[in-house]
Structure 1
């Protein structure tokens, strides 16, 4: 079977600027996302830089605003921990200081409550009699969600002691 490679679109710089302005007006984006899209449209690096600079000047792109929204949404809706959120933002080349500032805005009480809720829900679905195996499964689950080890272990110990 022959698989055709998906043809990349080629558009003018002005047309690309209009399209990404529309995209940015509808949803928060970061420079990395926009650069990727511009690259997919086969725009030169000079055009990409110029478009991104225009978007920043016109306030369509703002890395700090994007980071704050991203952190809030991933914590609130996806129930991700700080480690996972931070990792995903680093992949998008967001500066470390912006990530740290946004993560600091998560309420510590809400953060621990969220972890407690997801672990309490998860423990009901795990069919395991051995407390060590149960502990390991809950720990891996919390790690997969991006929660810090020490916080996760405290909650897991508390949950397992309630079961005994």
Structure 2
């Protein structure tokens, strides 16, 4: 199979294509940077285009972080740990990650954990209570929820 050839674009074409790429969906700066390099641009041009996208508000890291948190929490029902890892992989600054995570309503967060626990409990066939609880906690931690919050929710809702 033939190796995929990089697309070589000039700066103007790359800017237009990047604007379209950003308009379609919120993007992190790192995603755009990777895409521009993939299109065969050099670092000076890449940074100029990123600056232009920020100036014209096509690229907004804070808006991206908020959209990412909202989507992963409301749609995928991920916990804060897993969401934070996803944002760190996209090189979003820590203060923006913290601000975006703080936008999650705490009561909604507890409700999502409770709902996920109740749903999972119905599928766990283990009879021994300790192993059953261990499987449930492991599952919830895998979804990115904090162990102390999980244990608190399980205790408060008698889901042991």
Q: TM-score range with shorter-chain normalisation?
A: over 0.9
Identify the residue that residue 47 of structure 2 maps to in structure 1: 49
Q: Deviations over 1:114-146 (max 9, x none)?
A: 010011101111111011111111111111111
Measured in 2, the distance between the counterparts of 1:67 and 1:85 equals 10
Measured in 1, the distance between the counterparts of 2:10 and 2:100 equals 36
Identify the residue that residue 60 of structure 2 maps to in structure 1: 62
Residues 83-122 of structure 1: pairs in structure 2 closer than 5 A = 83-122=81-120
Identify the residue that residue 129 of structure 2 maps to in structure 1: 131
Identify the residue that residue 18 of structure 1 maps to in structure 2: 16
Measured in 2, the distance between the counterparts of 1:46 and 1:67 equals 25
Q: Secondary structure at the match of 1:159?
A: coil
What's the RMSD between the two structures over aligned residues? 1.0
Select which of 30, 35, 41 maps to 1:32: 30
The structural deviation recorded for 1:8 is 1.6
The structural deviation recorded for 1:4 is 2.5
The structural deviation recorded for 1:155 is 2.7
Cα pair 1:119 1:138 within 8 Å, conserved: yes
TM-score w.r.t. structure 1 length?
A: 0.93
Name stretches of at least 5 consecutive residues in structure 1 with no aligned partner. none
Between Structure 1 and Structure 2, how many residues are aligned? Answer: 158
TM-score w.r.t. structure 2 length?
A: 0.95
Cα pair 1:135 1:156 within 8 Å, conserved: no
Identify the residue that residue 147 of structure 2 maps to in structure 1: 149
